[in-house]
Amino acid sequence: MENIIYLDNAATTRISPAVREVMEPYLDGFYGNASSLYSLGRESAKALHKARADIAEALNCDPREIYFTSGGSESNNWAVKGAAALMKNMKTQGKNHIISSQFEHHAVLHVLLALEKFGYEVTYLPVYEDGVVRVEDLQSAIRPDTGLCTIMQVNNEIGTIQPVAEIGALCRERGILFHSDAVQALGNIPLDLSALNADLVSLSGHKIHAPKGVGALYINKKIRLAPFIEGGAQESGKRAGTENVAGIVGFAKAVQEAVSGAEAKRAALLPLCEKLYKEIMKIERVHLNGDMEQRAINNLNFSFEGIEGESLLLMLDMAGICCSSGSACTSGSLDPSHVLLALGLPHEIAHGSLRISMSKYTTEAEVDKLLEALPGIVNKLRQMSPLWERITKG
């Protein structure tokens, strides 16, 4: 699959050579269980200890605040369910109201829907046409019984950046727990866990060139979250199960690379982002989804009038180009993306969307190949589209 042009890095990424290299010994010789007392097990325990310390150093927090999980979805589930349980008891007793946004990842939104069935009340803040939550809206949504706010840092479908540090500061001032899904922020925009004013932050490995199935939840040391998986004493007794040592070692390397390489990545991708924008906007009746300025520049999402996103993806695939119509979790269903609907796009335009997401491995030649193929494909699909005929004939 070497000649594939991969522009779907918000869905997942390839493993970096350095990540693979540090994992290798733990897939092979050092297979001991980290809870065992003999030296083979102690090697694994040492590796876990170092991985936690390395991540804490790269993201500016205490190693005791990093809990390894199976990825972003688990971290989001643990954070939101755990915080919802916490706000019912302790100091915050009796609090029943949660604030979130309309375009969170499904691993947050579906948990909130389940909590609503249990009697919690949830306010979903609007994100407007630019795809950005307003702090003033949060301020007016806060009630005396608000116990939790969960807002993502960078949206995975359209790449817009949310004012999370301000949101966190406001929540802290009002005694509200604050969780942020930072899966798409890591490696794309600066991430400093101590400056974020957050109690809980979700991270995932496979979006930053580590393997799938590993991630972390940052839990501020002032917060006492209940265990998510009961069983053994792993992860300070809060997340039982024999640790994915190789995956965690790879994840730590990927976090270090993401942080140290963030500036170089930005410098390399900025001209590619600008080129994509400039060239694609030349196509007739195309819209950029989300604000161009408040954006993680690895991610651009466009809507083409008169086109089905699925057909567009299939034609691009035939040209050897991998893109997405939005969230991997939504494809396979015919419902338009909840993110694009939250921006206020009509259904028929939300259907014709294309997400282009780059990584540090993306080259200008790859971007050029997409730009060569795209206008012809759009044109061909429009020629076959009764919807397009209706649009152009007014």
Ligand X SMILES: *Cc1c(COP(=O)(O)O)cnc(C)c1O
* Residue 284 C-beta: closest distance to ligand X, Å: 31
Closest distance to ligand X from the beta carbon of 296 (Å): 11
Cβ closer to ligand X: 207 or 239? 207
Considering beta carbons, is residue 125 or 377 the nearer one to ligand X? 125
Q: Residues with Cβ < 8 Å from 196, sequence gap 6 or more? A: 164, 165, 168, 180, 182
- Alpha carbon 322 to its chain centroid, in Å, reads 19
- Decide whether 27 or 328 has the Cβ nearer to ligand X: 328
- Least distance in Å: CB of 132 to ligand X? 15
Cβ closer to ligand X: 342 or 381?
Answer: 342
User: How buried is 122 (Cβ within 10 angstroms: 0-12 exposed, 13-18 middle, 19+ buried)?
Assistant: middle
Residue 365 Cβ vs ligand X, minimum distance, rounded to whole Å: 26
Helix (H, G, I), strand (E, B) or coil at 40: helix
The contact set with ligand X (CB under 6 A) reads 71-73, 76, 105, 107, 152, 156, 181, 183-184, 204, 206-207, 215
Q: Which structure tokens are listed for 354?
A: 């294309």
Residue number closest to ligand X, CB atom: 72
Residue nearer to ligand X on the CB measure, 107 or 167: 107
Measure the CA–CA gap between 291 and 272, rounded to whole angstroms.
17
Query: Is 329 a residue of the active site?
Result: yes
CA distances from 384 to 74, 202, 307, 377, 380 (A): 43, 43, 9, 11, 7
Least distance (Å) from ligand X to the CB of residue 306?
A: 29
Within 8 A by CB and 6+ apart from 35, the residues are: 41, 45, 232, 233, 234, 242
Which positions ≥6 away from 85 have C-beta within 8 Å? 226
Of residues 295, 347, 357, 356, the one with CA closest to residue 131:
295
Cite the active site residues. Answer: 329
